[in-house]
Amino acid sequence: MDNPNHERRWLVLVIVAATQLMIVLDATIVNIALPQAQADLGISDGNRTWVVTAYALAFGALLLLGGRISDYWGRRKSFLVGMTGFAVSSAVGGLAQESWQLFAARAGQGVFAALLAPAALAILTVTFVEPKERAKAFGVFGAIAGGGAAVGLLLGGVLTEYLSWRWCLLVNVPVAVVAVIAAASVIVESKAAGDTRYDIVGAVLVSMGLASLVYGFTRAETGWGSPATVAFIAAGSVLIIVFGFAERRATNPLLPLGVLFHRDRGPAFFGSLMVGSILVGATLFLTFYFQIVLQFSPVIAGLASLPITGGIFVTAGVASTLLPRVGPKPIMSIGPIISAIGLLLLVNIDVDTSYWTHVLPALVLVGLGLGLLIIPQQNVALIGVANHDAGAASALINATVQVGGALGAAIFTSIYTSAKQSYLIDTPAPEAPAGAGMERFFSAEVAGYHAVFTVAAVFIAVISPVVFFVVRAKKDDLPAGEVVVHAG
């Protein structure tokens, strides 16, 4: 048989599923722990989002290269190296004594996740070749990819409240050790045939360009017109443009530009970028609101965030049913509007807002809208893609979510900081009573959150006109076969 993993395929599925769960939940598990880690390591408000951004940026920027490496170097080898590196990075982060050590560890996790994630998916793809079994395997994989964020929020809350924020990182170590031992004894090596030349120039250009952009937006809290902010954003933009020209000339490009620049696929990738900014960037400030302003415990804060995930699950099923009947355009146009309404409702939160009457309905709407968008978006991203480039298109969806999260966290942090500072300047410190100072602090926090959710609503709403006026895909244009849900 061509597939040497066939006899142990269900054990391979268990290993890959555990790996996917670890990768996905690590994007959110630290969200709940962040206030405690910030206080423990003395991280400033402006720098705290680097705990999230460092992971998302490294993961998103290197994911395409990681997929090439796993195909060319060997999926089993890439899996073992990626998992080992992920475990070491997690241990470094869990034992960090300085903020820069935590940031570096999170970036390390992202680097090795970019190698590990495509290797795991490729192993699953080459292991399950029979259509019915492959559908079951990808169903398990997709369910974990979709629910991993919720598991991360819950697990992060439990570990932070009953142990320490450090265990949100250290928990990966025993999981990784078991996975490495199992994979080494179970999984047989496989590689891609054909052209195996690496596009090193493309990888360097896109990584440096994205890093410069994100850092520039992060520095914008000191002023959008400051020389450093302008220089980094300009340099990043130039590097991304140069990357585009380099890919046009490359014989084996990291990102075939035909995959991205397409009337139907382009809006799907744009939408994925915006979804990432909301899921990773904007919702991060919900954690701060729950724990800093409403004084929720980490566990309760994790539970309070779940309605977004619940909403996504509900309408993801609806979208999957409707997609073959009505096509992607109506669903993709409606979803962003629903999410935008939910985000605008969050602009009404205050220091003493009721979670049940104000926050909960807003979060449900955000999730319902995202669920309607994500499923058709991932189908449209594969329309008309040749088999040779299918892996690049799938990886690009995942990469744009991560890059969107990194950019979103940077942009929203700058917006939050500016709005908070403006409030403090416009609202003089009270002389009495004693508790008025804390009330002013909480009000300034809420003013920052208002600004974030307002801009986030604009980000997600702009997807609708783009889809409505640009996308032409009909239901008959959708790719045949199962759709793998990328939520990492």
Q: What's the 3-state SS for 331-400?
A: HHHHHHHHHHHHHHHHCCCCCCCCHHHHHHHHHHHHHHHHHHHHHHHHHHCCCCCCHHHHHHHHHHHHHH
Give the list of residues 6+ apart from residue 256 with CB closer than 8 angstroms, or none: 247, 389, 392
- Are the beta carbons of 396 and 259 closer than 8 angstroms? yes
pLDDT tens, the chain, 488 aa long: 456 666 777 888 888 888 888 887 787 788 888 888 999 999 988 788 788 888 888 887 888 888 788 878 888 899 999 999 999 999 999 999 999 999 999 999 999 998 888 888 778 777 776 767 766 776 666 667 656 667 787 888 888 888 999 999 999 999 899 989 988 888 878 776 666 677 888 888 988 888 888 888 877 766 777 888 899 899 999 999 999 999 888 887 888 888 788 888 889 889 988 988 888 777 888 888 998 999 999 889 888 988 988 888 888 888 878 888 888 899 999 999 999 999 999 999 999 889 999 999 999 999 999 888 887 887 787 777 765 566 667 677 777 887 888 788 888 988 998 899 899 888 876 665 555 567 888 899 999 999 999 999 999 999 999 999 988 878 776 655 444 444 44
**Smallest Cα–Cα separation from 487: which of 268, 330, 311, 280?**
280
The encoded tokens of residue 278 equal 């909301």
Closest CA to 121 of 94, 144, 98: 144
pLDDT score for 485: 43
Identity of the residue numbered 63: L
Backbone angles phi, psi at 327, to 5 degrees: 85, 175
pLDDT value for 440: 83
Element (H, E) at 318: helix 306-326
Instruction: Give the per-residue pLDDT at 336.
Output: 95
**Maximum C-alpha span of the chain:** 80
Amino acid at 365: L
Residue 13 phi/psi, 5-degree rounding, is -60, -40
With a threshold of 0.85, does the pTM exceed it? no
pLDDT at 193: 66
Q: CA-to-CA distance for 228 and 226, rounded, in angstroms?
A: 6
Which pLDDT value is given to residue 408? 85
Q: Which pLDDT score is estimated for 135?
A: 62
